[in-house]
Copies of this chain bind each other. A is one copy, B any other.
C-alpha cells in the first residue's frame, strides 16, 4: 500500500472496469462542455490569451488524476485564482506581453512547488488558519471585484485597477465611449445566462425531463451563448462595427513551456504564490471533502496538496497558469456520475480535442459573451446574507468577515485576506484570554453543581468553587489569578477554594506557575486550594511537576466529593433537600436550562 499512498492511481486503477469507464466518460463530456467557455473566460480575467485557459485545462487535469485522492474534484482555471493571478502578475508585467505570460507560468510553478512541500511535510493543517468568515468575506469581495472588472468588456470600453474603487473610478469617464453593439451582445448574454441559471431547469422539468438531466442541460447554457454569438458575429459582421472579439487562437496541443528562474521575478511572486496556493487549496479541499462524504469516502488533505501541486507544476510546463479544484464544476462532475479521478483525464482529452479542432471558430467570439459568463458565475459567489447570519451567531465572526470583505474591496485581494487572517487569530486569542468562568453551588436534591447566577443552588459559606470553562494557558493565567484572588478578597469567610476543572483540556507551564502562585498566596492567607474533576491527560501532566506536592488542598474526583469532604453538612443538607423543577428560573431569565 506504500506506493499507492503517494500515487493513488495504483489503488483505484487496479479496480478500474468498463462500468467505471462509462460513468467517468459521461461525466467528462458534460464537464468539458461546461469548461470550454469557462477556461476561455477565466484566461481573459487573468489577463492572459484565451488559449492559456485551454492549456490550463489539459495537462493539470492529467497530473491531478495521477496524484489526487478525490473522485469528484474537477481541476482547472477558477475565478478567484484567476483574479489573484491578475493582481499579482499585473504588478510585475504589462498585460498582453510575453513577460506577463512568463510571470503567470512562474507563478503556477512556484505555487505548485509550495503545495508539494506542504503536502510532503504534511503541513496541510496550516490552511485551517483561514477561517470560514475570512474565506466567505474574501470570496464575496472577490466576486464583486471580478464582476466590476468585466463591466468594461460588456460596455466595450477599457477598465483597469485591482480594487473595486480603482475599477469603478476607471470606468466612469469611459461610459460615454460605450460601443452599442457590444453592449447589446453583453446585455443579451447576461440576460440569457441569468435566465438559464434560474429558469431553464424548472422549465425543462415542467416539460417532463427528470431533475438530473434538466440540470445538466442547464449547465450547457454558456456554450449555447458562445455558439449563438459566434454565428451572430459572422452573419452580421459585428467585428467591423467595433465589437471586440477573442481573435486568432492558435490551434493545437499545449506547447512545452518553462517557468522563469530569474531570482528577481521569483522574489516578486513568491508571497503571491503562497497566497494563491492556500486560497486554492482551501476552496478545493472543502468541496472535495463534502463530495467524498456523500459516498462515505474520504480524501487525504495532505495527498490533495500533492495532487494540486503536481497540477500546477504541469500547468507551468504546458502554457497554463495557476489552477485548483473548482466548486461548481466539481459538483457537476459528481452529479454526472464521475466515479474515479480518470473522469478528469477524460475531460482533459475533451479539451485537447477542442484545442485541436474548435479554435478557428473561437476567433469570432465576442469578449462581451465571455465577460457575461464570468459575471453570472461569480455573482453566485457573492453571499451578502452570510454577513447577517454571522452577525446573529457571533459578533467576533461577523467582525472578521466584514473586515475581510471591506478591506479586500478597498485595499485589494492580498491585503484584505492578510488582514482577515490576522484579525481572526487576534479575536480567537482575545476570546480564550478572557474565558467564561462561574462560581458554582450544589443543585438541591442532586450531586450536581451549577452556576450560582443561573440556578437556585446551595453554597457552603466556607467553600468557594470556581468552574473555569477553558483550557488554562498563558493568555488567561493572569485572568484566572485575578478572578480567584478577587473573589477571595470579597468574601472574608472563605477557608477553601476549589477549582472545578471538567472543561480544562490542558494546563500549560504559565498556568501551572500561576496556580503555584495562587496556591502560595492563598496558603499565606490561610486558605487551602483544591482541584476537582481534573481530566486524565491534565492529571498525567500535573504529576510530572512539583505542583501536587505543594498543593495545600486535595484533588477530588468529583465536585460532590469535594463538598462532602470540605463542607459535609451543607453537602448532605443539599442532597436531602427537595429537588426543584429542573432550573425553574432558567427559562424566565431567557437562559438555556443547562
Q: Cβ of A471 and Cβ of B470 under 8 Å apart?
A: yes
Closest Cβ of chain B to A84, distance in Å, is 21
Q: CA–CA, A445 to B451, complex, Å?
A: 30
Q: Cβ of A485 and Cβ of B524 under 8 Å apart?
A: no
Find chain B residues with CB under 8 A from A389 CB: 509, 545-546
For the complex, is A2 an interface residue (Cβ under 8 Å from B)? no
- The answer, among B127, B429, B522, B557, for a CB contact under 8 Å with A129, is B429
Closest Cβ of chain B to A516, distance in Å, is 10
Q: Cβ of A478 and Cβ of B435 under 8 Å apart?
A: no
Interface residues as binary, A109-147 with B (CB distance below 8 Å gives 1, 0 otherwise): 000000000000000010111111100000000000000
For the complex, is A488 an interface residue (Cβ under 8 Å from B)? yes
Find chain B residues with CB under 8 A from A435 CB: 505
Q: Tell me whether A133 and B290 are in contact in the complex, defined as CB-CB below 8 angstroms, given that A469-B535, A545-B393 are known contacts.
A: no
Q: Cβ of B488 and Cβ of A296 under 8 Å apart?
A: yes
Q: CA–CA, A585 to B289, complex, Å?
A: 37
Q: Tell me whether A485 and B292 are in contact in the complex, defined as CB-CB below 8 angstroms, given that A394-B541, A469-B535, A505-B503 are known contacts.
A: yes
| Copies per assembly | 2
Q: Cβ of B431 and Cβ of A477 under 8 Å apart?
A: no
Closest partner residue, chain B, to A502 (CB atom): B502
Closest partner residue, chain B, to A475 (CB atom): B128
Q: CA–CA, A133 to B128, complex, Å?
A: 26
Q: CA–CA, A489 to B300, complex, Å?
A: 12
Q: Tell me whether A132 and B513 are in contact in the complex, defined as CB-CB below 8 angstroms, given that A429-B425, A525-B293 are known contacts.
A: yes
Find chain B residues with CB under 8 A from A397 CB: 508-510
Q: CA–CA, A477 to B301, complex, Å?
A: 13
Q: Cβ of A544 and Cβ of B393 under 8 Å apart?
A: yes
For the complex, is A14 an interface residue (Cβ under 8 Å from B)? no
For the complex, is A424 an interface residue (Cβ under 8 Å from B)? yes
Q: Tell me whether A520 and B392 are in contact in the complex, defined as CB-CB below 8 angstroms, given that A301-B482, A536-B591 are known contacts.
A: no
Q: CA–CA, A238 to B475, complex, Å?
A: 53
Give the most central of A285, A479, A513, A535: most B CB within 10 Å: A513
Q: CA–CA, A437 to B278, complex, Å?
A: 26
Q: Which residues of A contact B (CB under 8 A)?
A: 125, 127-133, 285-286, 289-290, 292-298, 301, 389-390, 392-394, 396-397, 401, 424-425, 428-436, 451, 454, 469-471, 473-479, 481-482, 485-486, 488-489, 492, 502-503, 505-506, 508-510, 512-514, 517-518, 520-522, 524-525, 534-537, 539-541, 543-546, 557, 591-594
9 residue pairs of the A-B complex, CB under 8 angstroms, read: A128-B476, A129-B474, A130-B474, A133-B474, A296-B489, A296-B492, A393-B509, A503-B503, A534-B594
